[in-house]
């Protein structure tokens, strides 16, 4: 069946869907995006994704007069037209189309909204979590506002490619000897005393929505969380490690570069948190 995309008010065959060449998203990466999970028709972490989308738009001063409810209606219709009930949904909003010039168009133009949906196999993700994955470390060469979810992802793309070439699932980005986050996920370690450690939510990381929910789950499970940067050395000596993102949920990490984490199998706290996340995210 042909895949269907949503482009500025229309549902179009993905293979025919196109944006204008003077779309500022295309020319300047002047736009934002979200990736969210819908499982069995239920939008996971909906409020968090919508709130972060609004924040990203506001940080870029893009005026986007479409309600969260309207976005929800489009997502439902997109899934229906693609005959999907479980999917990864991609939402991109750029500042719009205007003759190429660095300043914002004046008067403002209408933002361009594009959405796609792709099949997601949660059983495959569960199977991967039972085995665990590996990460490499890679220099964090990104700009100073990675807390905004912009489509300008070239350093992330290069880091992820380096990971792929090393047979790893993710690249953990290193700045000033500290791990900030992954190229498309947040990075966590579990100390020997069972405390979760992850980088604080500031301008050096993207505040993951999965991270927020995992944090709430940890609190419910009475697992202590410390929000502070950690070094590669500390990570290599940790009891457990994992990543969090909409595409990975909570995914145990069993190797960092050539160092095995713990006994090389997914850790019990990581797996417990993954289970808790799956229960908690559908209602949020």
Provide the annotated active-site residues. Answer: 149
Integer CA distances (angstroms), 228 to 44, 94, 187, 225, 231, in order: 27, 33, 11, 9, 10
Q: How far apart are CA 256 and CA 205, in angstroms?
A: 19
Our finding on whether 116 is near ligand PDD (CB under 6 A) is no
Asked whether position 209 contacts ligand PDD by CB under 6 A, the answer is: yes
Q: Provide the minimum distance between the beta carbon of 245 and ligand PDD in the complex, in angstroms, as a whole number.
A: 4
Q: Decide: is 137 part of the binding site for ligand PDD (CB under 6 A).
A: no
CB of 146 to ligand PDD, least distance (A): 6
Nearest to 32 by CA among 75, 76, 92: 92
Q: Give 52 or 255: the residue with its C-beta nearer to ligand PDD.
A: 52
Q: Which is nearer to ligand PDD, 35 or 39 (CB)?
A: 35
Cβ closest to ligand PDD, residue 98 vs residue 242 = 242
Whether 244 contacts 214, CB under 8 Å: yes
CB atoms within 10 A of CB 74: 18
Size of the site for ligand PDD (CB under 6 A): 15
Coil, strand, or helix at residue 80? helix
Hey, what are 105's tokens? 């168009």
How many angstroms separate the CA atoms of 116 and 15, rounded? 12
Q: What's the rounded Cα separation, in Å, for the pair 207 and 199?
A: 10
Q: Are the CB atoms for 79 and 41 separated by under 8 Å?
A: yes
Span from 103-111, 129-137, 164-172, 209-217 in contact with ligand PDD (CB under 6 A): 209-217
Which of residues 4 and 246 has its CB atom nearest to ligand PDD in the complex?
Answer: 246
Sole window of 67-75, 96-104, 180-188, 259-267 interacting with ligand PDD (rule: CB under 6 A): 180-188
- Kindly state whether residue 98 participates in binding ligand PDD, applying the rule CB under 6 A: no
Residues in a beta bridge with 173: 138
Counting contacts by CB under 6 A, is residue 186 touching ligand PDD? yes
Q: Is 210 in the site for ligand PDD (CB under 6 A)?
A: yes
35 scored as a contact of ligand PDD (CB under 6 A): yes
- Per the structure block, which two tokens stand in for 229? 């940067």
Site residues for ligand PDD per CB under 6 A = 35, 156, 181, 184-186, 206, 208-211, 244-247
């Amino acid at each position: 069946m042909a895949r269907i995309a949503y482009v500025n008010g229309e549902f179009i065959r993905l293979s025919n869907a196109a944006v204008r060449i003077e779309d500022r998203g295309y020319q300047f990466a002047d736009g934002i995006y979200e990736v969210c999970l819908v499982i069995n028709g239920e939008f996971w972490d909906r409020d968090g994704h919508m709130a972060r989308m609004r924040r990203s738009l506001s940080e870029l001063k893009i005026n986007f007069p479409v309600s969260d409810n309207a976005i929800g209606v489009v997502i439902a219709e997109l899934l229906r037209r693609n005959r999907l009930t479980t999917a990864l949904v991609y939402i991109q909003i750029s500042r719009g189309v205007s003759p190429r010039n660095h300043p914002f168009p004046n008067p403002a133009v209408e933002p361009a909204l594009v959405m796609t949906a792709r099949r997601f196999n949660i059983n495959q993700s569960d199977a991967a979590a039972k085995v665990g994955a590996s990460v490499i470390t890679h220099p964090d060469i990104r700009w100073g506002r990675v807390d905004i979810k912009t489509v300008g992802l070239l350093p992330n793309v290069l880091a992820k490619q380096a990971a792929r070439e090393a047979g790893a699932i993710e690249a953990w980005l290193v700045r000033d000897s500290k791990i900030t986050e992954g190229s498309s996920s947040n990075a966590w370690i579990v100390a020997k005393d069972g405390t979760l450690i992850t980088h604080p939510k500031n301008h050096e990381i993207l505040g993951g929505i999965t991270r927020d929910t995992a944090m709430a789950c940890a609190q419910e499970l009475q697992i202590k969380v410390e929000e502070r940067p950690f070094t590669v050395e500390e990570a290599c000596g940790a009891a457990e490690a994992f990543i969090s993102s909409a595409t990975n949920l909570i995914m145990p990490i069993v190797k960092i570069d050539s160092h095995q984490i713990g006994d090389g199998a997914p850790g019990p706290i990581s797996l417990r948190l993954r289970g808790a996340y799956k229960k908690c995210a559908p209602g949020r």
